[in-house]
Amino acid sequence: MPDNKVWNNRNLNSLVLAATLLGICVGAAAWFASQHAIAQSAWAAGTAVALLPLTISVVRTLASGRAGVDIIALLAMAGALALHQYLAGAVIALMLAGGQALEEFAGALARRELSALVARSPRVVHRYEGGQLASPPIEDVRPGDLLMVKPGEVVPVDGVVEDASATLDESALTGEAGAVLHAHGEQVSSGTLNAGVGPFRMRATATAAESTYAGIIRLVEQAQASKAPLVRLADRYAMLFLPLTLAVAAFAWWLSGDPVRALAVLVVATPCPLILAAPVAVVSGISRAARRGIVVKGGGALETLARGRILVLDKTGTVTEGAPVLTNIELFDSFNPDELLRLAASLDMVSPHVLARPIIKAAHDRGLELEFPRDVAEQLGAGIQGYVNGRHVTLGKSDWVLQGQPAPPQVRRLRRRTMLEGCSSVFVAIDGVPAGALILEDPIRADAPLTLRALRRVGFQKIVMLTGDHADVAKVVGAVLGADRVFAERTPAEKVEAVRAAHEGGVTVMVGDGINDAPALAAADVGVAMGARGATASSEAADVVLIVDRLDRLIEAVRIARRSRNIAVQSIVAGMALSAAGMALATAGWLPPVAGAVLQEVIDVLVILNALRALGPARSVAAKDSARADVGQQFRAEHKELLPGVKRIRHIADQLETLPPETACAELHSLHTFLTKELLPHEESEDASVYPVVARLIGGDDPTATMSRAHMEIAHLVRVFGRALEDLPPEGPAHEDLRELRGILYGLYAILRLHFAQEDESYLALIDV
């Protein structure tokens, strides 16, 4: 089964297949009509038609310095002609041409997901021009153009929604079925489908060539054009098989003195299974991955990913959400929190720091009016200072803000707390006086710990986390994830060095999301870009791109890669074993050339069918249940909504002793309202909706008993908290009351954080798809 352009030309192969089939049919008809001479001539002609392109293929292979396994097929067909075994030669020719046709069919079947991605590229665009709707070429769309997307049409370019809302089917990008509602001003990506009942307007933010879907198509084309090392692995198997076959054929000839018996050995040893199995299994795996929102740039990446042993992870945007949010404003004096945020955000308007954007966004969300700063000076890695509305504002690290002054007790406490919690703090001074701090958090992805544990189970021996972030924050995140080593405050060049050093321990897989990760992705054995959607430097440097921004797709990619490689090797070994058994029968004289050719064709079909198993999920993978997934997504969303309130429990407990009695009472009653009106109904709903689903999946007697017990303990603590509030004297809490309340709140905070983490990592992940 040659692998060069002559034999692989589809038209030529179709002609060879037709000619050999015609030769066999004409020969059979002539044979039954007792025209044996005509029959032999027809079969010989069919053999010769297939032998010519095969000879050219072998000559070219030998000229390139390689001994292709198609030499066995060439010897078998030439031997059949020389020994007047014309029917055997014709059957071998039909087997080769038919096998090539089967390979083309299997390849097309395996590539259907990739082909579907390319086929649904946006082609139609409706643009408003002078108040009228026109349909220009999609290449003419420019950022700022106002477009309309009709129902059922594909979004042509990246943009933002101009109408009140838009309902989109994003399954082509994410692999997840179901409509997603986008509100006014939200970003929409090209390649998604308008699933609403009416059209919607959008404002283009990129050209077609720069949009999400165009980047994905470029990645897909790279994936389709590449050749897998597994094909070379098949060649290595086959090169061991070639001398064995020739030796067995020579032994059969010597043993029997009959060259026909040697021919029978060559016929049954024709290595179609070796050549067919690897590419079909690899392309099937690539297609399976594409169906799940994972673009693999060819078989090389798939095969190497399957052998990964060392995992290197970027922190920000990979194991964390990548979008820091302002979670709290700490005040050191009686400064107004909104005014503190307004001044800090105004100064940050001219800062390129990664934390400037979430601070500005928080100010906008609160409706604060910002003013452009003047006389701004920024020191990289320390902070920024300038004047806003006549006031001198300094923000950054505590040492920068304090300007050599001793750190007040509240500053020291805050630094310790943020270090323990893995948060970032931006200290603020107004007119030289420390006024407060802005607390920002980049939450760890809910699926990150579960994914990393799953990767360890499938064979990853070491997990390393790389980040440019501060060491204190990085160590906290690394400890939560169970990373073996954490490298903090690393530049892109230092990340490359760390990846190369990790390579000494085995095949290295690097996962990142940002432009600064691109060099490290390129340096790794396999680079995986997170949620890049084909439009960033990281996706260009990566070998695998997770289109959907979910880390748990990484374990899916690894499982698909390993299953595809295993199936390819199984097919190769099984084909060789069956051929070896046939060779033994042929050596003993129990398998004539014609029967051997038919047997080899049966082996071909079995090998291809086995390789196509890589298209489907493993048996252990449960069928997709959209209703079950909806439950998981609903409660994940509720956890995100409740988490700020849960964190507020800790914040109020920390501040109790410093708050005036009236303020303390108001904060405590507000917190009790949150617990009784929002948190407890959520817990009750989980008991009724989530836990029964989880129990069915796990099986056994009451598998969710421990988590239900946690719900009971949470409810008990809320009742105790409520009773303590009822017993407070009218003038406010006394010192003894504060100590009791603080103990209740710390206990409630601890159990809630642990309980939420356990549910996110175990139960909700189990029912999510």
Residues classed as catalytic: 314
How far is residue 237's CA from residue 69's CA, in Å, rounded to a whole number? 10
Judged by DSSP in three states, 315 sits in helix
SS3 readout for 693-738? HHHHHHCCCCCCHHHHHHHHHHHHHHHHHHHHHHCCCCCCCCHHHH
Report which of 442, 451, 316, 555 is spatially closest to residue 765, judged by C-alpha positions: 451
Report which of 189, 156, 186 is spatially closest to residue 171, judged by C-alpha positions: 189
Report which of 355, 382, 239, 306 is spatially closest to residue 564, judged by C-alpha positions: 306
The two beta strands, 462-466 and 146-149, are unpaired
Please calculate the CA angle 200-203-205 and round it to the nearest 5 degrees: 135
Is there a contact between 320 and 480 (Cβ–Cβ < 8 Å)? no
- Helix then strand then coil, % of the chain, to nearest 5: 60, 15, 25
How far is residue 226's CA from residue 73's CA, in Å, rounded to a whole number? 26
Report which of 364, 378, 358 is spatially closest to residue 316, judged by C-alpha positions: 358
DSSP 490-508: --HHHHHHHHHHHGGGS-E
How many Cβ atoms from other residues are within 10 Å of residue 403's Cβ?
11
Query: How many CA within 13 A on the CB side of residue 509?
Result: 30
Please calculate the CA angle 173-176-177 and round it to the nearest 5 degrees: 110
Partners of 201 in beta bridges: 148
Q: State both tokens at 549.
A: 């921004």
Report which of 44, 54, 544 is spatially closest to residue 275, judged by C-alpha positions: 54
How far is residue 169's CA from residue 480's CA, in Å, rounded to a whole number? 35
How far is residue 91's CA from residue 112's CA, in Å, rounded to a whole number? 31
